[in-house]
Structure 1
Amino acid sequence: MTYVPDPARYDGRMPYRRSGRSGLLLPAISLGMWHNFGGNKPYENSKAMIHKAFDLGITHFDLANNYGPPPGSAEETFGRVLADGLRTHRDELIVSTKAGWQMWDGPYGDLGSRKYLIASLDQSLKRMGLDYVDVFYSHRPDPDTPLEETMGALDAIVRQGKALYVGISSYSAEQTREAARILKQLGTPCLIHQPSYSMFDRWIERPAQAGAPVLTEVLGEEGIGSIAFCPLAQGLLTSRYLDGIPADSRAAAIDNPFLTADKVEVRLAQVRALNGIAAARGQSLAQMALAWALQTVTSVIIGASRVEQIVENVGAVERLEFSADELAKIEAVLKG
């Protein structure tokens, strides 16, 4: 059956926000494929989630070379969905991918060398069946490769026509400022920074040490957009854990280092208190947490395992404003 997008997808419900001082508009909600889109998941469910996201005005799909599992399979899934009918709407889509974490064996399959970044993007394009991506990221800083080499590779990728824009992810404020300087000098501005950010992870708002720059301030000064990954703290800022840790949850899995049972237990009282504030606003906890993050960043990346989660999360855009009293109550909970 041929996919026909919802004709009302641009009806004004989804806000589109300018990324820094660029010409690119991003949806307030973007769909990430870190989990649940790999080769170990049912293809039809992945396709249904991508279609529903697009129907709801989500035009930005965030990937990386190592997303899966197995690594690379999320890009293969997305390429298959494109081939199944979504490719007709390629010019409406923002497709981003990254390289910087371990992808293949040997000395050239990790971190930030020119060799790795360019080879990785070539592989990503083949997996997705694309001639170019809209945004290509250096997925993390490389402590051993000169920043000039990493940023030079990003510049070369744009000049080769393999990406329209470039970005960085998880760079410190100092590293971001220097990366922006190098890229500006090369003639390929840094479009966007992708940090972790949520109510429980606010490092981008604070200096790493006394006298150090603050990432949000550097982004503003340099005209760089921002897009948060893990805005729901790996699902902790949802209704999933209000009554404890379900046996089938991510926190109960023994092989998940990102959200452990210990991390859930120490946050449960805060999660329940925040849920009460969200209920008073007429939102779910997830919706409020996304709306809160969108006070600071350009866009947030949501993950999903079901279509219904995407529908719920997009509902966050229906109430993005906070009163001073609501913000004060949230701060009191987070500091408690």
Structure 2
Amino acid sequence: MIPFSPSPDRYNEIPFRPCGESGLQLPAIALGLWHNFGDDRPFQTQRDIVRRAFDLGVFHFDLANNYGPPAGSAEENFGRILQKDLLPFRHELILSTKAGWNMWEGPHGFGGSRKYLLTSLDESLKRLGTDHVDIFYHHRPDPDTPVEESMLALHHAVTSGRALYAGISSYSAEATKEAAAIMRDLGTPLVIHQPSYSMLNRWIEEGSPSLLEAAADEGMGVIGFSALAQGLLTEKYLDGVPEDSRLASGKVSRKFFTDEVLGHVRALTDIADGRGQTLAQMAIAWVLRDQGRASLTTALIGASSVGQLEDSVKAVENLDFTDEELAAIDEHAVESGINQWWGATASR
């Protein structure tokens, strides 16, 4: 077998940015393995996507304990790719995983307890075949566990060597400040927040302070997931619902696919055409646009094929927007009630 030899120009393809006030540098585009990396997809396709991503300068790969299907299989499959192709480059990679949503049976198979978080991390490391991850997140706030307990678990994950950095996901601005204060006192500052964010889901801009402002106040970077609104911010639905789409498979609720949303998507497609981009490329570029101190560090994308990956990565070729473009986008980049994560719980 010929060893994988990534492009020597890989660090010239995608800009990388400091993660908040930490020394961690992250690529503007990261690859998420939420979909398309379970046992329901061909392993070779997964391998081709990951290898091509690294070739293009995507060195941050984002996982969670429950990604699949079945739960855990995305970590297992990435672990196989790591052993086959990327192990010689492990020191270059940023691997992240998370725990918070349902993973196994019983009262400690979800949530934010020390028992669940640290046990889950140990299981994730086994599946990945590595002795540490670079970032370990609490995947969602748990109303049934004191935030101090969850943060102490993240702190221990770092001080025990299982993770290099700690982060949170889907926390509100207020909860983010509370968690950050605890971790700062412990000596393990939170370096990153992972919320959902797209032109149809702008909750992190709302409030005073907004989540974006709160993260900046606390010196945290922000990596936004679901920049394409689970595929709604692409051109695939302009002529109906394809049989192989997430809407058709039930992975995305059809309640989000309304005539009003489709009208916004059509208008945004026209704006993207004027910029010489696909709608997907513009949606990713918009997430990464300059918002001053509250700008995002990274857009987290998914990909079901090498072609889709390559199309999305091209977003970085035009990250600048004119005031006129932003004003036109704002008319159609409106909250559409598609945030399935913030404020949700994982009770059984």
Structure 1-normalised TM-score?
A: 0.96
CA contact (8 A) 2:201 2:334 kept: no
The CA distance in 1 between the partners of 2:245 and 2:71, in whole Å, is 22
Q: Counterparts in 2 of 1:53-202, with a 5 A limit? A: 53-202=53-202
Q: What is aligned with 1:206? A: 206
For 1:225, give the aligned amino acid: G
Q: What is aligned with 1:312? A: 311
For 1:290, give the aligned amino acid: I
- Answer with 244-253 or 187-196: which moved more: 244-253
Pairwise CA distance, 1:265: 3.6
Q: What is aligned with 2:300? A: 301
CA contact (8 A) 2:169 2:194 kept: yes
Moved over 4 A (4+): none
Is the aligned partner of 1:275 residue 2:276? no
Q: What is aligned with 1:229? A: 225
For 2:267, give the aligned amino acid: A
Structure 2-normalised TM-score?
A: 0.92
Question: Number of residues paired by the alignment?
Answer: 329
- Decide whether aligned partners of structure 1 residues 40 and 219 sit closer, same or farther in structure 2, where only a CA change above 3 A counts: same
For 1:288, give the aligned amino acid: M
CA contact (8 A) 1:109 1:116 kept: yes
Pairwise CA distance, 1:260: 1.8
Is the aligned partner of 1:245 residue 2:246? no
The CA distance in 2 between the partners of 1:231 and 1:274, in whole Å, is 14
CA contact (8 A) 1:252 1:261 kept: no
Pairwise CA distance, 1:198: 0.1
- Decide whether aligned partners of structure 1 residues 275 and 106 sit closer, same or farther in structure 2, where only a CA change above 3 A counts: same
RMSD: 1.2
Listed as ranges, the gaps of 5+ residues in structure 1 are: none
Pairwise CA distance, 1:335: 5.0
Listed as ranges, the gaps of 5+ residues in structure 2 are: 290-294, 336-348
Secondary structure, in 3 states, of the residue corresponding to 1:167? Answer: strand
The CA distance in 1 between the partners of 2:243 and 2:44, in whole Å, is 25
Match for 1:288 among 278, 282, 287?
Answer: 282
The CA distance in 1 between the partners of 2:259 and 2:253, in whole Å, is 11
The CA distance in 2 between the partners of 1:259 and 1:269, in whole Å, is 18
Secondary structure, in 3 states, of the residue corresponding to 2:282? Answer: helix
Pairwise CA distance, 1:262: 4.8
The CA distance in 1 between the partners of 2:226 and 2:333, in whole Å, is 17
The CA distance in 2 between the partners of 1:97 and 1:264, in whole Å, is 33
Q: What is aligned with 1:219? A: 215
For 2:36, give the aligned amino acid: N
Q: What is aligned with 2:343? A: none
Secondary structure, in 3 states, of the residue corresponding to 1:314? Answer: helix
Secondary structure, in 3 states, of the residue corresponding to 1:85? Answer: helix
Q: Percent identity?
A: 57
Secondary structure, in 3 states, of the residue corresponding to 1:334? Answer: coil
